[in-house]
Structure 1
Amino acid sequence: MAFSERNAELLWRTGVLAVTVTASCLVIGVACAWLITRSDIPFRRTLGVLFTLPLAVPSLVAGSAWLSVWPGIAGFGGVFLVLTLGSYPFVMLPVMAALRSGDIATEEAARSLGKGPVRTFFLVTVRGVRPAAAAGSLLTMLYVLGDFAAPSLMRYETFTIGIFASYRGAFDRTPAAIFGCVLVLVAAIIMIMERRARGKAARFGQIRVGKGVSSRPPVVPLGRAKWPAFIGSLGLLGGAIGFPVGIVIQWFISGSSRGFDMERIVETTANTLWFSAGGALLAVVMAFPIAVLAARHDSTLSRSLESVSYLGHALPAITIGLAFVFVGIRVVPGWYQQTPLLVLAYAVLFLPLAVVAVRAGIAAAPASLEEVSRSLGKNGIITHLRVTIPLAIPGVAAGVALVFLSAAKELPATLLLRPTGANTLTTEMWTLTNRMMFAASAPYALLLLLVSAIPALVMGLAVIERKKKREGKQKWQM
């Protein structure tokens, strides 16, 4: 009975956090996407890149920064603030894509009927991006559901904290397993909802009014609201990026006067590189046959295998880590808290990143070259080694980079599975910040920010580049 009450309490606390953060990210994400794609806000393209950068600030770093300056923020308010500021791009990015690819004719028709910009936005634009916003919101909810660092630092107990506490605090790991099953069930429901929303978004994006050619999105003048909107955007970016980065730099300056343990920093960085590289290479090897089937053989089997590969990334990392703990203890005891099991966990967790990247590389390569190879008597394995893989190298390299960068930032599964006595950048920073040793954690925080900023910056630049190409194509058509 006590456990049932405990389970219900954790479910309630986790649900309240997930719903409130998702609702806030929905409002912020849609507003930012509209400002970038449809308004005349100053420095639109620069803001378009900067608005994606909160993804580069791990919740571990952001939470530590806020907690060091404002200890009283610990609790629901702190974890809500950190996760909202770091998660709104999950909503913003798909909504931006929907606004740019959607049909403008419906909005033009609304204006021709006398509807003003505000009424057109709520009656037409919002309805048009609703499937994309729903998909982004559910992705945000999945992220909040599985986040471990922010609730841990802010002392706000959620399911992930309950699982970790049950695993570490009791000899009997059954409660941790039960907590994990409940969390998996909730995540599975959200994942199904997200998949349906994504499907609706894709179908909606194919519906057009008129000739089927999207015109250039109209720019809505903000008038007197232009500069308040710009200042508000700067305030959002200051809280999401400027504040944590500035605090980390302050920690580094303060810690430099006392000196850092360089030997430990080098050792921790080497461990991170070693574990992450192993996970990245294994993930790409596992992803290759799935990507080949998905790109070259469209069938129920290939689609099913691709969908199954996404499960590891959709489920909370701590449940995947807990599953590998049981595998290590009961199936392969020699691997428990050893490098092979941690590398395998990384590969399973981030397999979808590798599958998507490798599949894109294979799909971009002409299938006719593989057919020519087979016509010359080469079997499937030789053809893949000599033709498919060399042509797909850009996708393979992207997959390795994405998995490597994601594994370097991973915390809960690493805490459960890391080799005895070994630390990574995330585990070392988590340990130091839990002891309120913020200055000592500065080098690890800076390295994490550097690692995290690379994919976020590339993503933002890619969004801007696609916009330039689209605008150039539209000018050519005119």
Structure 2
Amino acid sequence: MGNRIWLKIWNAKPPRTVLFIINAIIALIMASPILYIVIRAASAPLEKWKVLFATRIPLILWDTLSLAGAVAAFTTVIGVSLAYLVECTDLSCRKFLKVALTLPLAIPPYIGALTYIIIFGKRGVLFSLLGSSVIDIYSFWAVTFVMSMFTFPYVFLIVSAALRKISANYEEAGRSCGASYSSIFRHITLPLIMPAVISGNIIVFFYIISDFGAVAMLRYTTFTSSVYFQMIGKLDRSGAAILSILTIGLGLIVLLIKNQIQKNRAFFINPKSNRPPKAIKLEKYKILCMIFAVVVMFFSIILPLSTLILWSIKGILAGAVTVKMAGYIMNSLYVSIGAAAITMLFSVPIAYFKFRHPSKITTLMNNMCHLGLIIPGTLLALGMVFVVNRYFNWLVGSQLILIFGLALRYFSRSLQSAEASMSLISPIIDETAYSLGKRFGSVLFRVILPSILPGVLSGGALVLVSSMKELPVTLMLRPAGFDTLAVRIWVQASDGFYTQAAPSGLLIVIVSLLPLYFLTKKEKGG
């Protein structure tokens, strides 16, 4: 009876016991920090919940939602406007703008925030020149503006892709009815791209509620920064766990709302009738639209990059780059390569399991492995601290905790790349190999792995770059005295030593340009 149920679960194709155990262990490892946070929060004294709800939580919730909502709205306006101008009009330099407007993604928001503090802060360039602050860089609207300048490309990229898929037939039908371009945009184009707009909007919203470095540098309070300071500053683990569980709950609610909205706004486009529409002539508005694009580029790319370069030169001349810098680079590479290696190793069995043994159990395991994608770094690191202190106390103070923390944080990115490659490998290949007498290990390592290796390596490279930029996980899990480039930026910027922080920031930006280069290269090739 039990064997029959087991076969039914796997559609008569049950996995090998070893493969199932390996996948179950990996899934539990990936989900354990979050599961332990839930357990820790649930076991916290009721009085602790009451105190936090009576004092801190309402204000933190308002601050988090207001910032995330404002940035999401601002980036939607900027991203949709620029995507429409680049994809649907005769705006000058469109090919250049397609690439240039993605460059802010190469600047981690905490480094972008650093450049704005250098210029507009109380000890910044403008204050030194004018004797007073032009704007309060730590105000709500200033924080909203800074965060928007480095996150609008998420909306821009997704909406641009959606606009390229819309057939000219829709526009022509509207024009034949006498509708103006503005009317066509409101009643035809906008509804068609609305799922893409919502997706970009949600990505930005999640990014803001999960970001730590930029909001902390700009002295703004959100759930993630509160978790960090509750843990590090007050050493209050129960309080940090409660704030963490509320952050996770907030994210899940937003995700459910997004899925419901997109479900009610489903559109299907026939690829056979997909003719690109003719570029709309901007005529007298062309200069105005170009000014808008240039202004966005100035505040999101030119100003922060030029500031970073100039202050890096200033720092180098002042002796900021020393032998210790090489140590920070080596530390960054060491933990990043270690994290990438773990994610590549784990992604192969998980990806194979998903496509060769689909079931509800497989889906559950796969979702557990993708938790790092939606859980803020501070929360994941907090969960790691709980698990290690409780079950692996001998690991406390070692670099392995940091490496595993980074691997858990970015495993989803590596897994997505491996899954994309695995989805192209037909099961017939496995069956043919088995019919020739090959054993499972031989099929996996000699047939499947060579076929998906490019995707696995691409995912590993993405994890490596992401790990070098990661701030909260590194801050919370690093051994004492173990500094990376990201940590040095945080420490030096917090102490006001901007010339010392700038070279490290510039190096991280240069490294971050690599995946963007391959992304734009792929776009051109596709």
Report if aligned partners of 2:89, 2:280 keep a CA contact under 8 Å in 1: yes
Q: Distance in 1 between matches of 2:264 and 2:408?
A: 28
Residue 54 of structure 1 corresponds to 104
Amino acid at match of 1:98: A
Q: Distance in 1 between matches of 2:520 and 2:290?
A: 19
Q: Distance in 1 between matches of 2:319 and 2:159?
A: 46
Residue 243 of structure 2 corresponds to 179
Secondary structure, in 3 states, of the residue corresponding to 1:41? coil
Return the offset for 1:236: 0.6
In structure 2, do the counterparts of structure 1 residues 328 and 137 end up closer, same or farther at CA, with 3 Å as the change threshold? same
Report if aligned partners of 1:138, 1:193 keep a CA contact under 8 Å in 2: no
Return the offset for 1:28: 0.9
Report if aligned partners of 2:321, 2:503 keep a CA contact under 8 Å in 1: no
Q: Which residue of 46, 52, 75 corresponds with 1:3? A: 52
Residue 18 of structure 2 corresponds to none
Q: Distance in 2 between matches of 1:221 and 1:404?
A: 44
1:450 aligns with 2:510: yes
Q: Distance in 2 between matches of 1:336 and 1:69?
A: 40
Q: Distance in 1 between matches of 2:72 and 2:430?
A: 46
Report if aligned partners of 1:68, 1:436 keep a CA contact under 8 Å in 2: no
Secondary structure, in 3 states, of the residue corresponding to 2:56? helix
What TM-score does the superposition give when structure 2 sets the normalisation length?
Answer: 0.84
Return the offset for 1:311: 1.5
Q: Which residue of 338, 357, 364 corresponds with 2:398? A: 338
CA offsets 1:281-320 (integer angstroms, 9 cap, x no match): 1112222122113344444333333333222111111111
Return the offset for 1:29: 1.1
Report if aligned partners of 1:265, 1:443 keep a CA contact under 8 Å in 2: no
Which 10-residue stretch deviates more, 299-308 or 316-325? 299-308
1:322 aligns with 2:379: no
Report if aligned partners of 1:30, 1:92 keep a CA contact under 8 Å in 2: yes
Return the offset for 1:212: 3.9
Q: Distance in 2 between matches of 1:388 and 1:197?
A: 39
Amino acid at match of 1:38: C
CA offsets 1:227-256 (integer angstroms, 9 cap, x no match): 221121111111111111101111122112
Q: Which residue of 65, 69, 77 corresponds with 2:119? A: 69
Give me the identity figure in percent: 29
Report if aligned partners of 1:10, 1:159 keep a CA contact under 8 Å in 2: yes
Q: Distance in 2 between matches of 1:356 and 1:152?
A: 30
Residue 259 of structure 1 corresponds to 319
Amino acid at match of 1:179: L
Residue 184 of structure 2 corresponds to 120
Return the offset for 1:355: 1.1
Amino acid at match of 1:18: A
Q: Distance in 2 between matches of 1:284 and 1:355?
A: 8
Return the offset for 1:194: 4.0
Q: Distance in 2 between matches of 1:99 and 1:295?
A: 31
Return the offset for 1:19: 0.3
Residue 218 of structure 1 corresponds to 278
In structure 2, do the counterparts of structure 1 residues 108 and 132 end up closer, same or farther at CA, with 3 Å as the change threshold? same
Q: Distance in 2 between matches of 1:219 and 1:293?
A: 46
Q: Distance in 2 between matches of 1:169 and 1:298?
A: 45
Q: Which residue of 208, 211, 217 corresponds with 1:153? A: 217
Secondary structure, in 3 states, of the residue corresponding to 1:157? coil
Q: Distance in 1 between matches of 2:493 and 2:179?
A: 53
1:108-147 correspondence runs (5 A): 108-147=172-211
Secondary structure, in 3 states, of the residue corresponding to 1:364? coil
Question: Between Structure 1 and Structure 2, whose CA radius of gyration is higher?
Answer: 2
Secondary structure, in 3 states, of the residue corresponding to 2:150? helix
Return the offset for 1:464: 3.4
CA offsets 1:127-170 (integer angstroms, 9 cap, x no match): 10111111110111000001111111111111112111111122
Q: Distance in 1 between matches of 2:180 and 2:357?
A: 49
Q: Distance in 2 between matches of 1:106 and 1:297?
A: 42
Residue 391 of structure 1 corresponds to 451
Report if aligned partners of 1:56, 1:453 keep a CA contact under 8 Å in 2: yes
Report if aligned partners of 1:53, 1:457 keep a CA contact under 8 Å in 2: no
Q: Structure 1: any 5+ residue segments left out of the alignment?
A: 467-478
CA offsets 1:336-390 (integer angstroms, 9 cap, x no match): 2422221111121111111111112223345443332211111222101001111
1:184-203 correspondence runs (5 A): 184-195=248-259, 203=266
Q: Which residue of 417, 425, 428 corresponds with 2:477? A: 417
Residue 79 of structure 2 corresponds to 29
Q: Which residue of 92, 96, 120 corresponds with 2:156? A: 92
Report if aligned partners of 1:37, 1:217 keep a CA contact under 8 Å in 2: no
Return the offset for 1:122: 0.9
Amino acid at match of 2:236: D
Residue 169 of structure 1 corresponds to 233
Q: Distance in 1 between matches of 2:357 and 2:259?
A: 22
Report if aligned partners of 1:135, 1:197 keep a CA contact under 8 Å in 2: no
Which 10-residue stretch deviates more, 436-445 or 370-379? 370-379
Q: Which residue of 65, 68, 86 corresponds with 1:18? A: 68
Superposition RMSD on alpha carbons, in Å?
1.8
Q: Distance in 1 between matches of 2:154 and 2:264?
A: 17
Runs of 4 or more above 6 Å deviation = 198-201
Q: Distance in 2 between matches of 1:464 and 1:439?
A: 38
Which 10-residue stretch deviates more, 189-198 or 356-365? 189-198
Residue 472 of structure 1 corresponds to none
Amino acid at match of 2:81: A
Q: Distance in 2 between matches of 1:454 and 1:195?
A: 32
CA offsets 1:77-125 (integer angstroms, 9 cap, x no match): 3321221011111112221121112343222211110001111011110
Q: Distance in 1 between matches of 2:346 and 2:263?
A: 26
Task: Kindly tell me the number of residue pairs found equivalent between the two proteins.
Answer: 462
Report if aligned partners of 1:310, 1:351 keep a CA contact under 8 Å in 2: yes
Return the offset for 1:176: 1.0
Report if aligned partners of 1:95, 1:133 keep a CA contact under 8 Å in 2: yes
In structure 2, do the counterparts of structure 1 residues 91 and 111 end up closer, same or farther at CA, with 3 Å as the change threshold? same
Q: Distance in 2 between matches of 1:171 and 1:316?
A: 19
Q: Distance in 2 between matches of 1:272 and 1:198?
A: 40
Q: Distance in 1 between matches of 2:95 and 2:263?
A: 29
